[in-house]
Amino acid sequence: MKIALDPYMLRNVPLLDLPRVVADLGYHYIEMSPRDDFLPFFLHPRVSSAEVAAFKKALSAAQVEIASVLPLYRWSGPSEDERQAAVRYWKRAIQIAVDLDVRVMNSEFNGRPSHPSSSEAAFWRSMDELLPIFEREDVRLVLEPHPDDFVEDGIAGVNLVRGINSDLVSFLYCAPHTFHQGGDLAAVMRYAGPLLTQVHIADSFDHRGSSGLRYIVNPPGSTARVHQHLDIGQGEVDWDLFFRTLTEVGFDGIATVCVFAWEERAEDSGRYNLSQVNQYLQKYAGKR
């Protein structure tokens, strides 16, 4: 298993210094999420080929690898212009990943939950263009249902991944989205089975608690999706069940710590969550 850090809380660290900082926190792997000087949210990549080469050298010097690259684009959006732009951005992002010798990219379904049919149609148009490139470059694509995507439920997300019918497309289970995916993390992970190749680790509260009044969003009837990415133990994700189920299904993929709530103590958070992950893995080692 590769235990990676999503360094979003460290995005003010210069790109070429990032590998050293991550190594100092005890991680050997990075999941490269969006940052303004690399792959910005919903925009064309900003990093040049020369900067990619320099970053690759910095990674080697720090003895840190990129486990996966995470772009976020509107490839299932309601606007065809935005969808076509997203495909262009994806093509450049794939090339950047290949240049960094990365063979895994992960992302979200995107689209709009209020327009599931048209969003899915846009998603398939994008896949028709991009899947041949993933296959040509031998890059795995790992997809997750996300709050406010056209697919939010975990089981439905697994079914859509299965429908893509490619050995290079698999499923990511995001623990802090547990309560938007149906609430039964073990059922989703077991249902995914061998398709489960990546997980995101952070804690969250169950927004459905107190008859749905745990979080009050104004105006009434708002469709906002509320969740957190907290340190392990600060929310209501059942971590014993999470790690026990990973052991049960024989998970041996990428496990990414993706806590976003504590920028003022980002390094302490990174160290703490790594220690927690290792403790849980040791607790359930050999109990398959």
What's the residue count for the chain? 288
Confidence of residue 287 (pLDDT cuts 50, 70, 90): low
Percent of the chain with pLDDT over 90: 85
Identify the domain containing residue 162 by its residue range. 2-284
Q: What is the pTM of this model?
A: 0.94
Average pLDDT, the chain: 95
Taking the CA atoms of residue 107, residue 109, residue 112 and residue 113 in that order, the dihedral angle to the nearest 10 degrees is -120
- 73-96 average pLDDT score: 96
Q: What is the pLDDT of residue 219?
A: 79
pLDDT of residue 77: 84
Number of domains in the chain: 1
Q: Is pLDDT of 46 > 70?
A: yes
Q: What share of the chain in percent tops pLDDT 70? A: 99
Q: What is the mean pLDDT of residues 254-264?
A: 96
**Range scoring the smallest mean pLDDT among 3-7, 201-205, 216-220, 260-264:** 216-220
**pLDDT at residue 206, rounded to an integer:** 84
Across the strands, what pairs with 105? 69, 141
pLDDT of the residue at 51: 98
**143-169: average pLDDT:** 96
pLDDT (tens digit per residue) in 227-258: 888 999 999 999 999 999 999 999 999 999 99
- Residue 139 pLDDT: 98
pLDDT beyond 90 at 204:
yes
How much is the CA Rg of the chain, to the nearest whole Å? 18
Buried b (16+ CB within 10 A) or exposed e, 52-85: beebbebbeebebbbbbbbbbbbbbbeeeebbeb
**What pLDDT does residue 2 have?**
98
Q: Taking a C-beta distance cutoff of 8 angstroms, is the pair 142, 192 a contact?
A: no
Q: What's the CATH code of the domain at 25?
A: 3.20.20.150
What pLDDT, on a 0 to 100 scale, did the predictor assign at position 218?
A: 77
- The yes-or-no verdict on residue 288 having pLDDT over 70 is no
